[in-house]
Structure 1
């Protein structure tokens, strides 16, 4: 039924009319203008003029005010739905029948204004999201056989090479193969600062798009800085991150929030009951000693008072405003359910690698021993590790170069990887071993007690520690660790301050590593040694204990656990298909600090939805008894009733200006 309602709604607004998309708003304002003219004529010259003189402006007011409502009511009746629009038309015709033309016109004017504003709010919300669609440039400069020519973006194929000039939009998702530049990614990820991007070293054996280091990846619609770059196209325009975002946001409406579903159910029963009560009230004159006209007047006044217009738009307008505000900040919230659920969360589970930590090992300690200096140890480690292709070795080389300002001189040779233990090589005519305790013991070298205790201390704190031997003696100890994100501590503090009670880390790493990082950044607890299926079990346990739970991860290896949680939040979802598909909330940038904003926005939306429901139900609860008892006339009923609709829409629009309180 709701699907049909939506189709009817969309259909009613497909024909933009003579003033384009704002036709409904202009029609509503014209209805108000003619209402005012009729009202003034009636007051100023009612005695001298014919009744038709002021009825003509009211006719026009009815025409403009009732045009869109009638189309919509008719569309819904065709699919078997008697909804609020139908009640409004009935009330306006009834008002005209009993001679209350001004009140009927006022009713249509205010209802159409509320409707037009709701529509405007929805168009504005959708526009701020669909603005993403305008991000994609229409043409691209393609490089073929050394020549550059302009083609439409739809003509681009995978593995084409496009040239992106300085300060122009990037036309496809891909990887930089030449040049470097600072790219403004704000349109996609919400990041305020441009990100430095460089060309990838080689395009041989490229991994999947979302596995490529983000320092080389560019997205459609982002803006190039001052450098000219060449990009290898890796996604067609229809599959680009922007295209997927637009598709998902346009589907967002179909995921109704719990409150929306509840109000829809309520309306389904409520509207027929109102119609029944109104019909019964028409015959009140048979019981009460009054003329038929009085009974009819009361029945029509009740019809106006009882229409739950404000209730009907209280939730959708707030949900759409909330989702639009989130999209402006690079947070994609999929539907009202996710928006409402996120605010009620008190426990958050985090994946460790890449979510709370950088996801890249960093050199954390360089401890020389015997009579070795720190610089000599750094030089030895750099020369030997630069011969290895192991990711850990690459990370060590990078950090040694930057921390100690060294450049390797290719003076080590004969590198050899020893499976599960470390590496050996020749340096200064002596053999070097870098690896774990087992490697050193197997070579018959002794480890001094003080070095052993230092190593054990580092291991307890979650570091990966390696001993370094040169010739016959152990000359030092180095350690690496996946370090926490610089923003993690602050973000967790903010989460705690907004009432998140428990923050749990789920990791495949050793329990020691988990505990060490949890302590460093202020988590409540850490669960280590977890495979993806163990994470699902952990989520189930947490849900039994705490009811609702949000899971924050990168959406790739966490997909099963995320699917099981109440609300799943994917980090750095730009470019990651899996994250966009599986998550309820996607943080487009790789910034965990957007999480408190998303939760705060969700709570603000929930507050506004609750306020709106109280306003709309409160007005109906007061007006219906007052009109049945004849305490209010139709004019007052119209003003109160439609006034509440306007208040509700304007209240929802406040969300478009939401900012997290620091």
Structure 2
């Protein structure tokens, strides 16, 4: 069996990410071809693109044929399917979003669609059956304004941006009041208040003796008009699509009350229902604005440096390689590399870090932008972060549309269209629930045929049950909580991609961590110097500095850095340095030959290490250290130890995770088992698994899921991507600036801080509790009110108050998530 890989970007250049449905489509299409045994996705790694890996029988099909088939299938899918993300205005609440979703799903050619109450529509369509223009007309026909469109094309973005702007202008002319009418976005709320005022006046006038009856009724009719305007509008929209939504139920109940002469109760129903709608819209808008504020973080212009002069330009005109100047205490305009100036930068808007981060210039101002992802974070800055007291010169590394903040905003917007399991459950429940309520009401209308009572009494009871049974609170309970949770997380530098990972994060019983760079600093540090044969620590460190200065090995750099911090004086370099690959280094210092290396170096050159020295080195290695032995001439000077040390916040973070209910914390590493166990013991890891290849990490996650069910994988989103894909929730650390981490993870911790993890899990648990509370309130109120209204104990008035009261309770309960604070002051 042979293998070959092809970049996914080549096969499907328009898909927005690895998890798009088109990726699944191309895998299914190619896996059935003769000679191809298996096709699977290889996620992005380092600076490479995601790939499709083909396992094929070379005796049946050649590699060229495999590649031709793949490219043909990719071209077919690219030509066949398009992907769009719309930002629209005019969606008032989750029920309205569902109506829009069903309406768009009915448009010929649309394959899948998800609509968020906050105004984002993500869809996939077949180009042969429909077009972007047709879809935009359908959206405008539904009464929405199109504010922006992203079509995921790799080319022509500027042209398309103009096209989207034109659509917005056109839409605005046709539907300037898509939120409701003459008062713009506040029309619904103002209509509800007018309805309430007319209801109050009418109710007050009804107590005046001798006043003609038609006068209070006239006010009630006015209350009906203003309270029922949007209810009628949405009911008719739904009915035209063959749906009977909650608005229809409320409208029928209000008309029924009027028929029975109960004008006050009908007006009360429409007033409270319209007020509930308006407050739901307010709740969605509050959470939406919290997220939308991200988009306003980056300034719109930048100071471009050209030929020694500064020119203010639009950030859209910046190109990679341009030099911009950022003045003190101003926002940074673009992602880039610091080439001049030292300053502390507040990255809180992007990463959530509360303490400013020191930024220093790179050694080479002419650095190649292609290497931006590999340089130290002390040289990198992000658009939207805030410069400190000193001016900086920055070489732009990404265009504005690809900056970290732009990608973050796009992914958060997409996340709003992703539904949680609970939301999918409540949506399905409502699908069957509303028809069941209508059947129950019809049966109750015929109660007078069985029970000795007039038709008016049966009709009144049926209308009361109709109000009591309407699931308004159920419809808003989950989406309001999910959106508030995603918004709160985004403000603190945690990207949660939708309701599903938000809910699942709080159910975790086990978390697997990559070691290097996740639980540890990711780079070796000098941890000890042990002199031998009468040499002092200072002499040992001086020789080490002199020799290792000449090496470019990471261990050499760690020795020089750590030793220099202790010696604190200038040491002249050794001479005639010679690297011994895989063993160490040899050099001449003050006329004497110096060897620095591992035990194998001395065995190889014929030196015999004394038993006590060998044992001391082995004991140090047992504790997780890498040992380097130093020899001057024919005398052993001592042993140096290095280790990739644990992050300072690792131990307290793991302790907090245990408090939050995570029972097992597992370390997965390619390092040897002894090193893994030493680190694990120091920081509180329950299981350490060493010597693992990437595919063995995936197997370890599979094994964990058998025993623990809900397992997260925490890593950097690069080489840990396969294991992340297998876990319940994939969590990427330090995702700011990393395209790979942002794309592959379900949850991205923008800052390189492990301590953000308890915040995210705590927020998830809080969100899950609020969702459960909301479901109990919404379903509990229905369970109480239906029997009471059927038995005639509660009438329309109490049913209305209970029904709308529960709706307001779940809305404001969900908004509590916007003020969530992490345990133990983590945030």
Residue 369 of structure 1: aligned partner: 532
In structure 2, the residue matched to 1:219 is 382
CA distance in 2 between partners of 1:147 and 1:438 (Å): 58
SS at match of 1:360: strand
d(CA) in 1 for partners of 2:242, 2:498: 26
Change (3 A) 1:70 1:382: farther
Pick which of 557-566 and 311-320 moved more: 311-320
Higher RCO (C-alpha under 8 Å, 6+ residues apart) = 1
Counterpart contact for 2:369–2:397, Cα < 8 Å: no
What is the SS of the residue equivalent to 2:508? coil
In the other structure, the counterpart of 2:309 is: 147
Of 86-95 and 354-363, more deviation after overlay is shown by 86-95
| Structure 1 residues 497 and 290: alpha-carbon distance in aligned structure 2, compared to 1, 3 A threshold | same
CA deviations 1:566-617 (Å, max 9, x no partner) are: 0111111111111111111111111111111111111111111111111111
Report which stretch shifted further, 258-267 or 443-452: 443-452
| Cα drift, residue 7 of structure 1 | 4.8
Equivalent residue number for residue 648 of structure 1: 810
Alignment of 1:52 onto 2:211? no
- Contact 1:386-1:408 within 8 A present in 2 as well: no
What corresponds to 1:450 in structure 2?
Answer: 612
Aligned partner (choices 693, 706, 715) of residue 544 of structure 1: 706
**Distance (Å, rounded) in 1 between the aligned partners of 2:229 and 2:695:** 57
Structure 1: distance between partners of 2:369 and 2:614: 41
In the alignment, structure 1 segments of 5+ residues that lack a partner are: none
8 Å contact kept, 2:503–2:768: yes
User: Residue 450 of structure 2 aligns with which residue?
Assistant: 287
Structure-2 residue corresponding to 1:483: 645
Q: Is the 8 A contact 1:445 1:474 kept in 2?
A: no
User: What TM-score, normalized to structure 2?
Assistant: 0.77
> Cα distance, 1:208 vs. partner?
4.2
Q: How does 1:348-367 map to 2 (within 5 A)?
A: 348-367=511-530
Residue correspondence of structure 1 range 394-413 to structure 2 within 5 A: 394-410=557-573, 412-413=574-575
Output aligned runs, 1:199-598, within 5 Å: 199-202=361-364, 203-205=366-368, 208-410=371-573, 412-598=574-760
- CA distance in structure 1 between the aligned counterparts of 2:702 and 2:536, rounded to whole angstroms: 52
State the 1:77 CA deviation.
Answer: 3.3
Between the aligned partners of 2:228 and 2:413, the Cα distance in structure 1 is 28
Once the two structures are superposed, residues 193-217 of structure 1 have per-residue CA deviations (whole angstroms, 9 ceiling, x without a partner) of 1110111112435554433211111
Rounded to whole Å, the distance in 1 between the matches of 2:575 and 2:526 is: 23
Q: Using the TM superposition, give the Cα deviation of residue 628 of structure 1 relative to its aligned residue in structure 2, in angstroms.
A: 1.5
Correspondence for 1:4: 102
485-494 or 397-406, larger mean C-alpha shift? 397-406
Shift of residue 79, structure 1, vs aligned partner: 3.6
Q: Are the aligned partners of 1:446 and 1:473 in contact in 2 as well (CA < 8 Å)?
A: no
CA contact (8 A) 2:116 2:417 kept: no
Find the counterpart in structure 1 of residue 352 from structure 2. Answer: 190
Change (3 A) 1:60 1:626: same
Aligned pairs, how many? 659
Alpha-carbon distance in structure 1 between the residues aligned to 2:396 and 2:241 = 46
Q: Which moved more, 1:62-71 or 1:569-578?
A: 62-71
Measured after TM superposition, the shift of residue 20 of structure 1 is 4.3
Q: Which residue of 2 aligns with 1:26?
A: 190
Are the equivalent residues in 2 in contact too, given 1:12–1:71 (CA < 8 A)?
no
1:180/1:76 CA distance change after superposition, 3 Å: farther
Could you tell me how far 1:18 is from its partner in structure 2?
4.2
Q: Which moved more, 1:71-80 or 1:472-481?
A: 71-80
Q: Distance in 2 between matches of 1:193 and 1:8?
A: 34
Q: 1:519 to 1:207 in 2, by over 3 A?
A: farther
Equivalent residue runs for 1:92-171 within 5 Å: 92-171=254-333
TM-score between both structures, scaled by the size of structure 1: 0.96
2:257 alignment partner, SS class: helix
Matched, 1:600 2:762: yes
Question: How far 1:13 moved relative to its partner?
Answer: 6.9
What is the SS of the residue equivalent to 1:608?
A: helix
1:416–1:424 CA contact under 8 A, matched in 2? yes
CA RMSD, 1 decimal: 1.8
Distance in 2 (CA, whole Å) between partners of 1:34 and 1:523 is 66
Distance 1:366 1:205, change over 3 A: farther
CA gap 1:474/1:207 in 2 versus in 1, 3 angstroms = farther
The structure-2 alpha-carbon separation of the partners of 1:361 and 1:299, relative to structure 1 and needing over 3 Å to count, comes to same
Q: Give the secondary structure class of the aligned counterpart of 1:215.
A: helix
Q: Distance in 2 between matches of 1:381 and 1:21?
A: 71
For 2:305 and 2:808, the matched residues in 1 are separated by: 55
- In 2, the alpha carbon distance for the partners of 1:154 and 1:374 equals 57
Residues 493-552 of structure 1 deviation map (CA, whole Å, 9 limit, x = unaligned): 111122211000001111111100000001101001111111100000000111110111
Partner secondary structure for residue 120 of structure 1: helix
Work out the CA distance in 2 between the residues paired with 1:548 and 1:357. 24
Range 534-543 or range 195-204, more displaced: 195-204
Tell me whether 1-10 or 72-81 shows the greater mean CA deviation. Answer: 1-10
| Structure 2 residue aligned with 1:68 | 230
CA contact (8 A) 2:116 2:416 kept: no
Structure 2 unaligned residues grouped into runs of 5+: 1-97, 104-113, 120-141, 146-177
Matched, 1:619 2:781: yes
1:476 match: secondary structure:
strand
Mark the CA change 1:618 to 1:66 in structure 2 (over 3 Å): closer, same or farther.
Answer: same
In the superposition, relative to structure 1, how do residues 67 and 8 fare at CA in structure 2: closer, same or farther (>3 Å)?
farther
The residue aligned with 1:84 is: 246
8 Å Cα contact 1:331-1:585 kept in structure 2: yes
SS at match of 2:662: coil
Question: Are the structure 2 counterparts of residues 471 and 123 from structure 1 closer, same or farther at C-alpha, using a change threshold of 3 Å?
Answer: same
Mapped to 2, the partners of 1:13 and 1:546 lie a distance apart of 46
CA distance in 1, matches of 2:195, 2:482: 29
* Structure 2 CA distance for aligned equivalents of residues 566 and 95 of structure 1: 51
Counterparts of 1:174 and 1:350 in 2: how far apart (Å)? 30
Distance in 2, Cα, partners of 1:533 & 1:293? 72
Return the alpha-carbon distance in structure 2 between the equivalents of residues 311 and 422 of structure 1.
67
- 1:438 positional shift: 1.4
